[in-house]
A and B are shown apart, each in its own frame.
Chain A
Amino acid sequence: KAGVTQTPRYLIKTRGQQVTLSCSPISGHRSVSWYQQTPGQGLQFLFEYFSETQRNKGNFPGRFSGRQFSNSRSEMNVSTLELGDSALYLCASSLDLSGTLKSYEQYFGPGTRLTVT
């Protein structure tokens, strides 16, 4: 079974621009979560989507947004990029079946490395 895929793997943008990152979960997985990883702040939760609805949200400004499609694929968007948005953005998916604890395990993609100049 194919793992979580993220595109693109690397991205360079300029301050003020916007960017869209894509995540394809493992086939059959229904929940997708996004995390930001930086040397200073570590791994921080951005948001989680389940059945096309945002179910959880972290403490990030409104410039960070996301969505999930009917096939569970997800995108996240960052508008008006700042230098501090340079980070590795990780996507994780889980099966998420009520009553099955194992199904909540999250599987991570390789990440998208975003550099803002």
Chain B
Amino acid sequence: GNSVTQMEGPVTLSEEAFLTINCTYTATGYPSLFWYVQYPGEGLQLLLKATKADDKGSNKGFEATYRKETTSFHLEKGSVQVSDSAVYFCALSESAGGTSYGKLTFGQGTILTVHP
């Protein structure tokens, strides 16, 4: 079955530091890949997505590139802010003709804390 593995957390950074959160996946088909963010007491918000190999998703300074050869979708940001403190989830959904778009498989989540 499908699975997503994220780097162990939590991650603690100083403001303006560089962020990388690793994500690798295993999928039987050709999945779409997502990063979601969850702020305390809230649901998940879609941060960015990529639907095919070499696609780069980007939003709010965050970027991730769909690497089919390494089955990875690492999240990066060049300069983090205190307001980026949250839990980040990597996820995949099946695509390409399947009927499983409504089923997301999530990684375990990475807690990010940014200090001033």
Q: Which residues of chain B have C-beta atoms less than 8 A from A94's C-beta?
A: 101-102
- A contact patch SS: strand
Known contacts A104-B32, A105-B46: does B104 contact A45 (CB below 8 Å)? Answer: yes
User: Given the complex of chains A and B, what is the CA–CA distance between A90 and B41 in angstroms?
Assistant: 12
Q: For this complex, into which size category does the number of interface residues on chain B fall? A: 20 to 34
Known contacts A105-B49, A108-B43: does B32 contact A56 (CB below 8 Å)? Answer: no
| A107–B46 touching, CB < 8 Å | yes
Apart from A48-B103, A104-B101, A110-B42, what are 15 other A-B pairs with CB-CB below 8 Å? A42-B108, A45-B103, A45-B104, A48-B102, A50-B102, A56-B99, A56-B100, A58-B103, A101-B51, A104-B93, A106-B46, A106-B102, A108-B45, A109-B43, A110-B41
Query: What 7 A-B pairs come out closest when comparing CB atoms?
Result: A48-B102, A108-B43, A43-B106, A104-B101, A108-B44, A33-B102, A56-B103
